[in-house]
Each structure stands twice: as C-alpha cells, then as structure tokens.
Amino acid sequence: MSAEGYDYRTGPSGEVTIFHHGKLARRLTDAPAQEFLAAVEGGDAQALMAAAAGRDGQGGGVQGSAQGPGAHLHGNGAAHGVQQFRRKSG
C-alpha cells in the first residue's frame, strides 16, 4: 500500500506542518524539521510524510491523533468560524 493524501507546509520559523487529507497529522520543529526538508528534496515525499506522521505501515503512532501545538485544529489548520444556532420554536 503506497502512501497518498499527504501535504506539508513550512512556517516562518522553519517548522514543518504535515497534513493528511487536509487534517493535521504532525508538526516538526528544529532539527527534525530540517532533516525532513532535506530528505524530501531527494526522496518520495508521500512516503516520507507518512513515516514522519507515524503512518508508514510499520506500526507506531496512533491513527487519527495529532500531537503538539495546534493539535486542536482541523482541516487546513484554520480555526473554525463562529456558528450561530437558533432554537426551534413550537
């Protein structure tokens, strides 16, 4: 089974945020982030992102979990907007 559906973004301070199907999978900072970026240049980006997120089929990692700051974010990492609820009458 090949890895697919991964995407990553880099932040201004050098952190790397990995998403799987639009959901936050892992955030890398400092040396691990730089090692990941170097590896992506010459390797299979999808497989590397799956391995970094702990979903490389080799066990480890918890499916559906995110760790680190921003773990409460969903989708593209943007916060959810305010939603107005109305009470049904009658």
pLDDT in tens, the chain (90 residues): 467 899 999 998 889 999 999 999 999 999 999 999 999 988 888 898 998 888 765 444 444 444 444 444 445 545 556 666 677 775
- Give the strand order in the sheet containing 23-28: 6-10, 16-20, 23-28
Does 46 map to a domain?
Answer: yes
Q: Which phi and psi angles does 28 have, rounded to 5°? A: -110, 140
Q: Are 46 and 2 in contact (CB under 8 A)?
A: yes
As a whole number of Å, the CA-based R_g of the chain is 16
Q: How many domains does the chain have?
A: 1
Does 25 map to a domain?
Answer: yes
The set of residues, in sequence order, having a beta carbon less than 8 Å from that of 80 and lying 6+ positions away, is 74
Does 35 map to a domain?
Answer: yes
pTM, whole model, 2 decimals?
0.58
Range of the domain at 38: 6-52
Does 68 map to a domain?
Answer: no
DSSP 3-state assignment of 39?
helix
Does 63 map to a domain?
Answer: no
